[in-house]
Structure 1
Amino acid sequence: MGDKIGIACIIDDDSVYVNLVKRIIEAKHLCKNLLVFENGKEALSYFEAILSNMDEENLPEIIFLDLNMPVMDGWQFLEQFCGIKNKFGKVITLYIVSSSINPVDINKAKGIKGVKDYLIKPITIEDLEGIFNASA
């Protein structure tokens, strides 16, 4: 296999989870580059800068978004991101990855256009491989 996806993005404040996913992605060569943001505000600033600079080659193909984060949570990020994502010429597949098993959260997330799926932590190697292979 190996690096079929150019750039993936993790938006999550849980450093243990982020390091685990990074190690899996690197070990399995699932993508060439990985962007990591600790909250939605950092990520949104990055995407807005890309939009203003027309620098779409640095856009990820896949985003893994946590819901519960400080500064700007996943819901707030989604609301803002959905307003700008159609301005990009690239398709970005967004997955919610959360520890919440609340059906209200799951249904709300799946009801948002642009959210591909809702995954419950901990995410498995098989989950990641399936996502990256389907997106490649």
Structure 2
Amino acid sequence: MEVFIIDDDELSLFLTENMLLLEDETLGIKGFLSGAEALEALSSDGIPDLIFLDLNMPVMDGWGFLDALTPLAPGLRKSCNIYILTSSLAPSDAARITKYPFVAGLIHKPIESDELRTIFSQHRKK
């Protein structure tokens, strides 16, 4: 399973990657410090199975990344699960996410093992 983690905070990126590998050491994980870097990788590497996306980043934030993916929305949800991984508890963020039907869910940082197990089992059922 291929996984992208998009987060400008290197510590969060490291922790998320290690939590994922604790649950499944066979994952192919690529980390990106901005949405722009991840978009470039999507064009060259293709769409991964899972994306964990931070919302608040400089250059291109999570919202800009989601906007850039909107034209791919019809096929995206079938092949890729996108999870917003954020420390924000703002209700406005949760409400805004509903505008992106290809987003599978919202997870508050730090991600927990039981959440990952649920995500992996849902994705494998696809």
Same fold judged by TM-score > 0.5? yes
Letter of the 2:93 partner, please give it. D
Measure, in 1, the Cα distance between the counterparts of 2:27 and 2:11: 21
Structure (1 or 2) with the larger CA radius of gyration: 1
Q: Could you say what the CA RMSD is over the residues aligned between the two structures, in angstroms? A: 2.0
Measure, in 2, the Cα distance between the counterparts of 1:87 and 1:107.
23
**2:24 corresponds to which residue?**
29
> 1:45, 1:28 → 2: CA distance?
28
Q: Identity, % of aligned pairs?
A: 33
The AA in structure 2 aligned to 1:77 is F
Tell me the secondary structure at the aligned position of residue 3 of structure 2: strand
Match status 1:93 vs 2:88? no
How far, CA to CA, are the matches of 2:104 and 2:25 in structure 1?
18
Q: Which residue of 1 aligns with 2:93?
A: 105
TM-score scaled by length of structure 1: 0.81
Structure 2 residues not aligned, in runs of 5+: none
Match of 2:9 among 14, 21, 32: 14
Residues 1:85 and 1:91: Cα distance change in structure 2 (over 3 Å)? same
The answer for unaligned runs of 5 or more in structure 1 is: 1-5, 51-55
2:67 is matched with which residue? 79
Letter in 2 for 1:22: E
Q: Is the 8 A contact 2:4 2:50 kept in 1?
A: yes
- Please, which of 115, 121, 125 is the counterpart of residue 127 of structure 1? 115
Runs of 4+, deviation exceeding 6 Å: none
The answer to whether the aligner puts 1:63 opposite 2:58 as a matched pair is no
What letter matches 1:116 in structure 2? Answer: A
> Counterpart amino acid of 1:67?
L
Q: Secondary structure at the match of 2:27?
A: strand
